[in-house]
Structure 1
């Protein structure tokens, strides 16, 4: 019996209009009513999912959770209480930021409660609008002002898959720190502490709730979902998922994110 459903948001639970379909909402509410946990497991900040939680009936609920920043934090919804964190040292974030500036990428720097963006453009604003409520633009080409801020993740917007792979190789070669490097949404390369990924955080939350790995379902589509797909008892790839995710999944849905793929999984394995 599955007791916990961990689900990615963008391109998995959310459709291309950045909405949760009524069918997905209904299935999730039914699963929760039967006693299952539904846990958004996202690369984004937990603060950006509050409207989604409202829609799902999970907003400010006790014993209800979000995994955010690719496993960088586990948060209880009631009071947005941060239970665990895996931060990045400032000097590591600074070196990554300098690399992004050198290549003139749009850079996102995440603290636990704020998103800072350098070199944002109209296309990036269009993509993140409806996903991220607010951010602070960095005017300077350095982040020295954030030296005492708790930082959890940094990402670059790079449209080219080949270029993302090249940057990954450069970082692994030149930065002597153990990083979790993932790709997401066909547009980002993301950098976390090696202690932070969606799979490690999911298993940690499961232990907190006395739920075993084989009682967990994970649903995702992109590279940063791979760890949770592999860690869960049942890893489900939505139909629009990358081939890497499909190759490692236990099941692949017939439907994509625009056609209530999450409801398909819940109806088959929970309801």
Structure 2
């Protein structure tokens, strides 16, 4: 029996309209009422999904959790208690920030509880609207003010895939640090500490809860979801997932993120019901 479901947020749990559909909401509530943990597993901050937690009935609940920043932090929902942080060294973030500035990329720098953005543009504002609120605009061309603050992740918004791949190659050849480099939402290249990925975060939480890897379902759509899809007993790609994610998945949903993919997984693998 599966005891823990962990799911990516954007383009997986959330529709393109940035919503959890009513059918998916009902399925999640049914699963958690049956004792299954439902754990959002996002590249974003746990603070950015509080409204989603309220909708799912998981907000401010003991023994319910969120994995944030691609595994950079594990949070218990009750009082948003930070249980684990796997941050990046400041010197490495500073080097990445300078690379991003030179490319004039829109840069996001995440601490445990803040998001700072450099070189914001209208396209990025439109994408973040309804997903992320309360970010802070950086006006200086440096991050010295963060040198004593744990940094969980830094990402660049690069519009085209070729540009993101080129940036990955450049960083790998110029930064002397074993970064965890992933992609998300077909717009971001993301940089985490090598100890932080969605799979490690999932397995650390499962161990804490006494849950075996074989009892975990992981659902996603893009490269930053691959570690948890590979680590889980059942790795799932939603129908709108990238082809390389589908290739690694044990199951591919019939439905996409706009048509209750998460409900499909819950009904099929938790309650043994076919759609």
Q: TM-score, normalised by structure 2?
A: 0.98
Matched, 1:12 2:32: no
| 1:149 Cα deviation from its structure 2 partner | 1.4
Partner of 1:202: 202
Report the secondary structure of 1:99's partner residue.
helix
Partner of 2:47: 47
RMSD: 0.5
| 1:133 Cα deviation from its structure 2 partner | 1.4
Matched, 1:173 2:173: yes
Unaligned ranges ≥5, structure 1: none
Partner of 1:150: 150
Q: How does 1:61-140 map to 2 (within 5 A)?
A: 61-140=61-140
Report the secondary structure of 1:264's partner residue.
helix
Distance 2:46 2:81 in 1: 10
Distance 1:47 1:15 in 2: 19
Partner of 2:164: 164
Distance 2:145 2:63 in 1: 36
Q: Deviations over 1:71-111 (max 9, x none)?
A: 00000000100001101111100000000000000000000
Distance 1:150 1:214 in 2: 33
| 1:19 Cα deviation from its structure 2 partner | 0.3
Distance 2:119 2:29 in 1: 40
Distance 2:222 2:23 in 1: 22
Partner of 2:240: 240
Distance 1:152 1:41 in 2: 14
Report the secondary structure of 2:177's partner residue.
coil
Distance 2:171 2:152 in 1: 17
Unaligned ranges ≥5, structure 2: none
| 1:147 Cα deviation from its structure 2 partner | 1.1
Question: How many residue pairs are counted as aligned between the two chains?
Answer: 271
Report the secondary structure of 2:148's partner residue.
coil
Distance 2:122 2:161 in 1: 21
Give every structure 1 segment of 4 or more consecutive aligned residues whose post-TM-superposition deviation is greater than 3 Å: none
Q: TM-score, normalised by structure 1?
A: 0.99
